[in-house]
Amino acid sequence: MSAHSLSLGRILRFAILTLGALIFLAPYIFMISTAGKAQSEIFSSSLTLIPEQWSYVENFTKALSRVSMLTLLLNGVIVCAMIFVVQVVVAIPCAYAMAKLKFRAARLMMVLVMLGLLVPIHATALPLYVAFDRLAVLNSYTALVAPFSISVFAIFLFLQFFRALPDDLIQAARLDGMSEIGIVARVVVPNAWPAITAFAIFSVVAHWNDLFWPLVVVSNQDYATPPLGLLFFRAAEAGDDYGALMAATLIITLPLVAAFLIAQKRFVEGITMTGLKG
């Protein structure tokens, strides 16, 4: 009886998970389907996932030729990589200091970090835009990267992870004569790769998909990020060639899907370990 109920429970959980996966994957499946359809078929009354007339080659050719897709992808990689590296370089020492060093302002800094999580980029967009305009750095990587150089979410995530690190490990490093910077570089960072990988997924996905800020500071296509490039593509196509638009969207989303599939084990491990308390 128990074995029967156990198998029934597994079947039920599997069915719920499958349903949830289908709901989340439905837009992506529809995008793959539309990318292979001709314009007349997209607007036909019949709704089928399998294209009647396969137009993948035609649509992907348009997607690659109407805008510089390679430039868009390269800009996305450069901007996301620069933001991620700066965020980690800033966040790890801050989180280490708050987790393992004792000083009076530690509690105040924790409160400021929590408050920082509540401030969206939209609230500071106008003063940042005015400042970048006066500094003449609009339409540049600086304008795209600088506002995100400090991530309070990264500080909070690493803080939770570092609290789980044994104090004896840090104390042993100090007894060996290491400076605090040396401890961070040679002890903390090598043990923090799961958390770094988890944060990398959050950071890269957020900034790869970000349209708001690039739309504010970039008007030159040479510095356009992938989502902004889709707007330029749609303008070039007069907004009506949805097969080619879906093909362009598919090209832009594939790197994210591939990166997540490669790093998913570390991502889950990092999220799990940042929930531990030392």
pLDDT of residue 276: 45
pLDDT of residue 266: 66
pLDDT of residue 5: 55
CB 113 within 8 A of CB 97: no
d(CA 65, CA 170): 55
pLDDT of residue 272: 60
Q: Please list the alpha-helical segments (H only) found in 117-187.
A: 121-134, 141-145, 152-163, 167-175, 180-183
Q: Which domains occur in the chain, in start order?
A: 65-273 (1.10.3720.10)
Tens-binned pLDDT, residue by residue, of the chain (278 aa): 455 555 888 888 888 999 998 888 888 888 888 888 887 777 776 777 777 778 888 888 888 887 788 899 999 999 999 999 999 999 999 898 888 888 787 788 888 888 888 888 888 889 999 999 999 999 999 999 999 998 889 998 898 888 888 888 888 888 888 888 888 888 888 888 888 888 888 899 899 989 999 999 998 888 999 988 888 777 655 556 788 888 888 888 888 888 777 777 766 665 565 544 44
Phi-psi map region of 238: left, alpha, beta (phi>0 left; psi -120 to 50 alpha): left
What is the DSSP annotation of 60-92? HHHHHHHS-HHHHHHHHHHHHHHHHHHHHHHHH
Q: Which residues contact 85 (CB under 8 A, 6 or more apart)?
A: none
d(CA 29, CA 33): 6
HSE of 216 in the Cβ direction (CA atoms, 13 Å)? 19
pLDDT of residue 133: 92
d(CA 230, CA 5): 50
Q: How many residues does the chain have?
A: 278
Instruction: Please state, as a whole number, how many other Cβ atoms lie within 10 Å of the Cβ of residue 206.
Output: 14
pLDDT of residue 175: 86
Q: pTM of whole model > 0.85?
A: no
